[in-house]
Chain A
Amino acid sequence: MMYTKIFSWPFCSFLLFCFLALTSWTIVLKDSDLLEFFSGGSLNGVLDNFRHIYNSQISGQSDPAFLSFESWYRAVFLSFRTLLVSILAIGLAGFVALLTFASGSRNLAMEGNSPIRRPFSSLIFYLLRALYTVTRSVPELIWAMLIVFTMQAGIVAGALALAIHNFGILGRLCSEVVENMDQRAIRSLRSSGASSAQVVLYGVFPDVLPQLLTYILYRWEVVIRTTVVVGFIAAEGLGRQLRLSMSWFHYDEVIVLLTCYVALVIMVDIVSGFLRKMAA
């Protein structure tokens, strides 16, 4: 009794996690020069930059970016482009995930409820699940690197990278929703002679739609945050400008862009929360 209690899964996981955390922290602390870290490496450089901006404004040479209307206008325009990328990405991901989730859920594919015939449906099930896993495990940024290598950077390239990763996440979440739904609706449609396409359309879809919508909106909130980072590589919207301003040490512009970014994210959170309440 005691033996099984001590070596239970949660306890072993806890031990393993603590071991990993301790080892990791030892390595991180060994590798980073803490003295330099807390003396604030280039903190002084940043402060100097602001002092310079302040002085140049006092002497009337130029306004810092956060006081000029033009730079705000440009940042808002770039935010709009970023929003566009995020909607395109989540739309693509959601569309493809909605097309495939029925063939990717075990209960539909394995019990002959899929529109596709039996041996093929299980083959497609395993292929889809593998595809979900592969696309989900590789972060958006790495997809972006691979895509930019073959395609011109721009809205579509960025959206594609985001869409591939989120397709994996949404596909898996949606299939799991179908696997966890009440199976009686499927069985009763089945026994009254509905075809498998009818089962999916009239039995599964209405039942799981609210959950799918919630997941899509929730992922949209995540995507808008990541769009900026993908923009660093895929050269689009706020991300690209942020990268340029940072590498030119224009920290006043960085502040404008970061403010717009945070405002955009909070706005998307509010809209998504509102839509989720509507869908529930």
Chain B
Amino acid sequence: MNVVRKVITGRPGVVIILTTAFLTSVYIADWNRAIPRSSGLSGIYEILKGFSQPDFSQEFLIVAVQATWTTITFGTSAIFLALVIAIPVSFLASGTLFRSFVVRITSVSVVRMFLALVRSIHELIWAWILAILFGFSPMSGVLALAIPYGAILARVFADFLNDVPQPPLRALQSSGASNIQTLLYGRFPSAYKDMLSYGFYRFECCLRSAAVLSFIGLQGIGYQIEVSMQDLQFGQVWVLIYFLIALIVSVDWWGSKLRRSLAE
């Protein structure tokens, strides 16, 4: 009996549950619709042909560089705003500012619940909502990225602030530091490296999300991909995808360099 319980509640149980869920979904899915469109085979042929003959003409390269720059612009301004939002909110969500237990618990649970709610909505749904409310301006796009990313960053930063080693904090407190001073001189300095490297990882994600802001009609790599696809110019689509890959890979490389130098 004990063995059975161990298997069910432990790791094998998880594997069994996940496999069952997956197989059930495979069974329910409408595989009869998973067929190529009537034009599908020629579509695949067109896509592959574009892959072998990317359009590296000068005019299009200029378009692609501009689209990439627009995407960088949206992504960077959004993650910057997200950081500006996240750092003060993470102080609140970590609950280290208040000494009274009741105030701390209420503020932490209220802020964290709010963050969970904001986080649960995808950035493109935010984009759609903001575009309906405030019009289709770049500002809506930037806010749409900054709001959910700010919530994610705030929650993770709060966890980092909570998980710092305790001895330096106790030393500060026993020498009479206030809560804010302990936070700024004790917790923040021990957590900021983790915060930086996580923030950088999110920067990469944010650029990827910024690429699909074409969803609400904003310019960028996704927009150009859509335009080229409507013209059936798959050579151009592949060039844009290469630019996107190059952008993500170089930010990834920058981040790993940064992480390594921070770890030293």
Contact = CB atoms under 8 A, between A and B. Distances in A.
A151 B124 CA distance: 24
Contact of B76 (A24, A37, A269): A24
Given A136-B248, A225-B120, A228-B122, A37 B137 contact: yes
Contacts, number: 205
Contact of A41 (B75, B117, B133, B229): B133
Interface stretch (B22-30, B103-111, B170-178): B22-30
A33 interface: yes
Interface stretch (B6-14, B52-60, B86-94, B156-164): B6-14
Nearest to B208: A139
B180 interface: no
A260 to B, nearest CB: 12
A132 to B, nearest CB: 11
A136 B14 CA distance: 26
A36 interface: yes
A141 B124 CA distance: 10
Contact of A246 (B21, B25, B117, B132): B132
B133 A40 contact: yes
Contacts of B139: 28-29, 32, 34, 37
B222 interface: yes
What size tier do the contact residues of chain B reach? 35 or more
Interface string A1-32: 00000001110010001001101110111011
A278 B121 contact: no
A137 B22 contact: no
B18 A216 contact: yes
Q: Which of A145, A210, A261 has the most CB of B within 10 A?
A: A145
Contacts of A279: 11, 14
Nearest to A33: B137
Interface in A117-157: 133-134, 136-139, 141-142, 145-146, 149-157
B117 A149 contact: no
A278 B34 contact: no
Nearest to A20: B76
Contact of A37 (B30, B77, B140, B212): B140
A159 interface: yes
Contact of B138 (A28, A155, A209): A28
Contacts of A116: none
Contacts of A65: none
A269 B128 CA distance: 23
A31 to B, nearest CB: 5
A100 interface: no
Majority SS of interface residues in chain A? helix
A87 B29 CA distance: 11
Given A24-B72, A151-B37, A279-B11, A142 B212 contact: yes
A95 interface: yes
B13 A278 contact: yes
A8 B73 CA distance: 25
Contacts of A28: 73-74, 77, 138-139, 142
Size range of the interface on A?
Answer: 35 or more
| Listed residue (B13, B17, B138) with the most chain A CB atoms within 10 angstroms of its CB | B138
Most B CB atoms within 10 A — which of A41, A226, A266, A275?
A41
B152 to A, nearest CB: 10
A155 B22 CA distance: 14
A9 B261 CA distance: 6
B249 interface: yes
A42 B136 CA distance: 10
Nearest to A154: B33
Contacts of A37: 134-135, 137, 139-140
Contact of A20 (B18, B72, B134): B72
Contacts of A25: 77, 80
A197 interface: no
Interface in A260-280: 261-262, 265-266, 269, 275, 278-279
A52 B44 CA distance: 47
B34 A157 contact: yes
B67 interface: no
Interface centre among B9, B37, B139, B260 (most CB of A within 10 A): B139
Interface string B117-159: 1001110110010001111011110100000000000000000
A218 B79 CA distance: 22
B14 A278 contact: yes
B115 to A, nearest CB: 12
Interface in B223-264: 225-226, 229, 237, 241, 244-245, 247-249, 254, 257-258, 260-262
14 contacts: A10-B258, A24-B73, A37-B134, A42-B135, A43-B133, A138-B241, A141-B124, A142-B211, A146-B229, A149-B47, A150-B41, A151-B34, A156-B31, A226-B122
Interface of B: 9-11, 13-15, 17-18, 21-22, 24-26, 28-31, 33-37, 40-41, 43-44, 47, 72-77, 79-80, 116-117, 120-122, 124-125, 128, 132-135, 137-140, 142, 196, 208-209, 211-212, 215, 222, 225-226, 229, 237, 241, 244-245, 247-249, 254, 257-258, 260-262
